[in-house]
Structure 1
Amino acid sequence: MFYAEMDNSAANTARDSGASLLIGHASNDASIAVNSLVLVSSVDYARQICGAGSQLARMVGAYRKTDPFGELYVIAVPESTGAAATVALTVTGEATETGTVNVYTGRTRVQAPVTSGDDAAAVAVSIKDAVNANPDLPFTATSEAGVVTLTARHKGLYGNEIPVTLNYYGFGGGEVLPAGVNITVA
């Protein structure tokens, strides 16, 4: 036989989680002081002082999804030397139907509209415009002659680890390339 008694009167689910620290890169033109501890109260404030689309601003955004009220500090470190990573999306063909190209950069989906009759260059411009319309992405985009070049916002090896995919959810998720359009990611 076993008997236990519990007193839950001191139990509290609203405990302080303690302070957290994120270390990463800010944009080159950011106002945050490099190598200094800075209290960040919101995602908007992180975008303001670190730069929209910067590694630190996106890290704060991801953190705040799990802990919206906790005490959070960031330290901006100098950017690595070297070149920024690039990803090329090569578009071929002409669209024979209207549709959407779904490009995923990291976990963020960007949708580029395609109209029947669009050639490779027009589809590439649509993708470039859709990527550049979202300042929180880790890439900027340019297009020329049917090739979209995504360039990481920060130099160094970091950008090589950001996944770029097309139509992640496929046919079952309603994500297919418009007929006549082909895109390769390299």
Structure 2
Amino acid sequence: MTSVAIRPEQLQGVIAAALGDKARSVTVALDEVTVVVPAQAYLEAMQMLRDHAQCRFEQLIDLCGIDYSTYGDVGTDGARYAVVSHLLSVSLNQRVRVKVFCPDDDFPVVASVAELWNSANWYEREAFDLFGIVFDGHNDLRRILTDYGFIGHPFRKDFPLSGHVEMRYDPELRRVVYEPVTIEPREITPRIIREDKYGGLH
């Protein structure tokens, strides 16, 4: 039987007490609890969230990378890359978001939580593939969405929208070949038509 969910402010207190100094902050916004933990305490904090009697987050339902590189444009400073996880406790009917920032922008690394939740395996591979975040301790960290020879990480904000290479099948060579991108990058601004009878419409 599923428990009645406690209020977000109560869960905030429970998590803050359970993690202690392993949490940088525990906040509530839009009825959701978000925990920020330092990279060096990430794995231990995640295990505590799974195992603590008042937390019991048995399921990791999502994990993704974030690139904050353009946040400086709006006056926000800090590390460039973060990993965000969403945990669910079926037994206690509660959810939490966990955020950890990678300390090194040039080589973003955080611990893998795939040993705690099997579902993290492919999520971490995806964050590695798309953002270049390395998950220390992952037993099979390789690309999962892009091609084997792909160069770069396409969800980084400095990755060009057109990419670096394009692929086509060459009938003479009878194989796929990679070539430099031939598309000219450009911005397309939609044209707004204000003519009263445009296209015969009244």
TM-score range, shorter chain: under 0.3
Q: Which has the higher contact order (CA 8 A, sep 6+)?
A: 1
